[in-house]
Amino acid sequence: MRHPLVPLCALAGAALLASGCSSGSSSAGEEAAPAAASPAAVNPAEVGADELGQVPVLMYHQLTEKPASVYDRTPADFRAELERLAREEYVPVTARDFQTGRIDIPAGMHPVVLTFDDSTNSQVRLDQNGTPARDTAIAIMAETAKKYPGFKPAATFFVNADAFSATGSARALTWLKEHGHEVGNHTDRHQNLRSLDQAGATKAISAGQQAIVTAAPGTRVTSLALPFGAMPQEAGVAARGTGYRYDGVYLVGANPSVSPYDKAFTPAGIPRIRSAGPKDADAEFGSSRWLDKIAAGKSWYVSDGNPNTISFPTASQDKLAPAFAKRAQPY
């Protein structure tokens, strides 16, 4: 399934802010539980810590040697992008951990969220021995982690019903859970939720949730990606309804997210960046250009290495959401 181009998502985010929609059990207005253990203290200034910086949430769909859409990338493109992220000291975190402020990465490193929509076989395909097939997303992530030990092979897969048909939903989703990935909802049949009434949108989301927990019992689903980036007419339905409750709802584009500790963070409408090369169609909204901009402006989130504290330059104090004041460590 394919999405329309990015402007719709920016509009959806604005609508969410106006609606006051709440998206789940933890947000910028509701304190997330810190990790239990504290690492050795690091001087935030020495690593340039800024945990109120920007976080790229990257969006992938199909990996193919013959791209037919702006949402397709070759396996070589994907491998090159992951290696760039590793070289630039990004560490993947799941959508679940990002949206609830549970970011636990080494000091001086930057979080990135890798997300995959539509549950295609190019993302996850296992052979009879349970080994990822060559040039699938999960295989390339594992290869990158082996080459760059600081790069964590962790991603969020937003799936539809009958996910990963070549492997089978139950087997594929169980493998993802067992290997540190997150399974999120993308509705059962990739419906355009804005085209449905409230009951229809709720049903589509709930059916997607049920398909996941039926295939892989015990799966904790806390994230939703909107098909086509289309917000339901009743925005609150995306985050809460009969049978589901999400901490994060993800759009299609087209810019980095603010930190989950920033008072401007809107978990009910988190923007994503489409993976794209610097000369691809709509490249100004794509990952290559955005990663360039973030690096050039030094606007990225920089970890202080301690998941129990939130460090940032004193000049950014006004950006901090009040709920996180007790964890603040300005310098």
Q: 148-167 pLDDT, tens per residue?
A: 999 999 999 999 999 999 99
pLDDT-derived band at 30, boundaries 50, 70, 90: very low
Whether residue 168 is predicted with pLDDT greater than 80 in this model: the reply is yes
**Structural domain includes residue 73:** yes
pLDDT confidence band for 38 (50 / 70 / 90) = low
Rounded to an integer, the average pLDDT of 54-69 is: 97
Straight-line distance from the first to the last Cα atom of the chain, in angstroms, rounded to the nearest whole number: 47
Segment 31-58 mean pLDDT: 81
- At 134, is the pLDDT very low, low, confident or very high (cuts 50, 70, 90)? very high
Report pLDDT for 8: 34
pLDDT for position 25: 38
* Structural domain count, the chain: 1
Count of other CB atoms within 10 angstroms of residue 33: 9
Measuring CA to CA, which residue among 251, 78, 56 is closest to residue 158?
A: 251
For residue 38, is it within any domain?
no
pLDDT for the residue numbered 17: 33
**Which tokens go with 117?**
């929509």
Using a cut of 0.85, tell me whether the model's pTM lies above it. yes
**For residue 278, is it within any domain?**
yes
**Residue-level pLDDT at 253:** 80
The DSSP output letter for 20 is: T
Residue 255 above 70 pLDDT? yes
The answer to whether residue 49 sits within a structural domain is no
Q: How far apart are CA 329 and CA 326, in angstroms?
A: 9
Q: Is the pLDDT of residue 1 over 80?
A: no
Q: Are 328 and 310 in contact, with CB atoms under 8 Å apart?
A: yes
CATH number at residue 127: 3.20.20.370
What's the confidence (pLDDT) of residue 47? 97
Query: Is residue 229 in a domain?
Result: yes
Measured between alpha carbons, how far is 269 from 135 in angstroms, rounded to an integer?
A: 31
| 9 pLDDT above the threshold of 50 | no
d(CA 297, CA 101): 23
Q: What is the pLDDT of residue 278?
A: 96
| Average pLDDT over every residue of 65-72 | 96
Measure the CA–CA gap between 244 and 206, rounded to whole angstroms.
6
Q: What confidence category does residue 37 fall into, taking pLDDT thresholds of 50, 70 and 90?
A: low
CA–CA gap between residue 14 and residue 266 (Å, rounded)? 10
- Asked whether residue 74 is domain-assigned, the answer is yes
Condensed to tens digits (0 to 9), the pLDDT of residues 292-309 reads 999 999 999 999 999 999
Is residue 45 assigned to a domain? no
Tell me what the mean pLDDT of segment 44-60 comes to: 98
Q: Is residue 155 part of a domain?
A: yes
Question: In whole numbers, what is the pLDDT of the chain averaged over residues?
Answer: 91
Q: Say whether pLDDT at 312 is over 80.
A: yes
For 255-288, the three-class secondary structure string (H helix, E strand, C coil) is CCECCCCECCCCCCCECCEECCCCCCCCHHHEHH
**CB crowding 134-155: b at 16 or more within 10 Å, else e:** ebbbbbbbebbbeebeebbbbb
Q: How is residue 159 written in tokens?
A: 């799936």
Question: Smallest Cα–Cα separation from 205: which of 241, 167, 158, 164?
Answer: 241
Q: Range of 222's domain?
A: 7-27+54-330
Which pLDDT score, from 0 to 100, does residue 230 have? 98
pLDDT above 70: residue 232: yes
